[in-house]
Amino acid sequence: MKMLRTARHVLSALVFSATASLVVPVIFNVMPAAVAASVAGLPDFTEIVEKAGPAVVNIRTTQLAKAEVAVGQPNDEEMQEFLRRFFGVPQNGAKPPALVPKGAKPGGKTQPEEVPRGVGSGFIISADGYIMTNAHVVDGASEVYVKLTDKREFKAKVIGADSRTDVALLKIEGTNLPRLTMGDSDKIKAGEWVLAIGSPFDLENTVTSGIISAKARDTGDYLPLIQTDVAVNPGNSGGPLINMRGEVVGINSQIYSRSGGFMGISFAVPIDEAMRVSEQLKATGRVTRGRIGVQIGEVTKDVAESLGLPKAQGAQVERVEADGPAAKAGVQAGDIILKFNGAVIEKANDLPRIVGNIKPGTRGVLTVWRKGASRDISMTITEMKADKPEKADEVPNSSAEPAKAAPVANALGLVVSDLPADKKKEVQGNSGVLVASVEGSAARAGLQVGDVIQQLNNTDVKDAKQFNAMVAKLDSKKMAAILVRRGESSQFVTLRPSN
């Protein structure tokens, strides 16, 4: 035991060679310099929390109870359970005694009252009381209450909320309030330390920390989000994501979870975009965005190669809205949008974000790829309207005229016919062929009877004879790109011809 205790304090060890009787001293540092430096360099958030904490607020919302329940005749399940627990259930099946509030008459109706709706977080961005939070924190609330760390509570006014970015701006009446400094979300880097302050599960001024996992995670929403591994839970929504300089770089907004709790992935709205939204909300109470009236999709590698594009980038135009800016300017289904006002479109989602930041009424220039060459198209941007539920595409009419030729599929697995007169009116340019039968690679790609094929490898399809002749000349070693219209949308589909 004495030897063991002594060994704990030994800073070196002796190693004996198996081939010699020499004793070779080998030094093992208990704590290498690199490790010591690493431990000493761990982030210390205390100073940041002391400065930023007072500007982070707890948000409590209420809403008016919508249901009016007849006094003395409770029909709410929770009320029924309350009555069963405290009054018992009569053996004869009769209803338990009715509870009639003081001053109410049996059979009358209760007045709507405020009931708790939810809790969230927010942070003060100006000394005169402007507060930023998530739109979903205040959505549907009849009243919003803000509580500071010094226990003062204010009734807040919702200046405006934008559901597309999940940003809301509130205002409380106060002066010389603590506020946070805004950072630059464009300059953040993956691996950078950040912390979150908020009210998870209504536990006020809770601090959690982690790193930025990705700076522009595309979740399919209107803007790319910051992904972190900071612990964010219900109630954290609307709180700040803060860097090591004490600056806000994001608003904690979403979590990825299968259980409802934190699972190591959380998302924040970049503060640069949030500030642009808040400035519009402050000025007008709403956010205006530009639009050009197209439905778009991603450009795959196969489509890019088939159309002669140097790489898979841009936004593929699947549908052009009638009488919209794009339609008036001459944009066509099948065009690949490569740039907007000189800004490169790497992914399809880049386009609505870039166009959305342009003031309606201004001119914009699209650079599109069409039939093997690029061209510029000028148009006037219009205002994006509020979201409306889209109608499901109708099933294409398969009762069109059958193909006159024998139903033998071509190398793409298609039997086609010339467009009937009623279909020509629907199709832009009156060109294309109608799919009458599908098999082989076309069936595996999802083509259906009633689809209209408008282009094959950058060439307009005029009629069935021309289309089949082009298919017969295709190289079976290369993918072919066909522009398919279904309903009101068009999309490129790549197929490999059979031998």
Specify whether the CB–CB gap between 239 and 128 falls below 8 A. Answer: no
490 appears as a binding residue in the annotation: no
Catalytic residues: 136, 166, 237
CA distance 25 to 10: 13
136 appears as a binding residue in the annotation: yes
CA distance 240 to 185: 12
Q: What is the distance between the terminal CA atoms of the chain, rounded to a whole angstrom? A: 83
Relative to beta strand 480-486, strand 459-460 is unpaired
44 appears as a binding residue in the annotation: no
CB-hemisphere CA count at 13 Å for 446?
A: 7
If 0-12 CB within 10 Å is exposed, 13-18 middle and 19+ buried, where does residue 83 land? middle
From start to end of 321-380, where are the E strands? 336-340, 343-344, 363-370, 373-380
Longest dimension (CA), the chain: 104
236 appears as a binding residue in the annotation: yes
Among 470, 489, 468, residue whose Cα is nearest residue 403 = 468
Among 288, 324, 306, residue whose Cα is nearest residue 412 = 306
CA distance 224 to 232: 18
Specify whether the CB–CB gap between 209 and 195 falls below 8 A. Answer: yes
Length in residues, the chain: 499
CB atoms within 10 A of CB 431: 17
CB-hemisphere CA count at 13 Å for 97?
A: 7
Q: Is 449 helix (H, G, I), strand (E, B) or coil?
A: coil
From start to end of 17-55, where are the E strands? 23-27
CA distance 101 to 259: 40
237 appears as a binding residue in the annotation: yes
Relative to beta strand 153-162, strand 193-198 is unpaired
CB-hemisphere CA count at 13 Å for 359?
A: 4
Residue ranges of the annotated binding site for substrate are: 136, 166, 235-237
Residue ranges of the annotated binding site are: 136, 166, 235-237
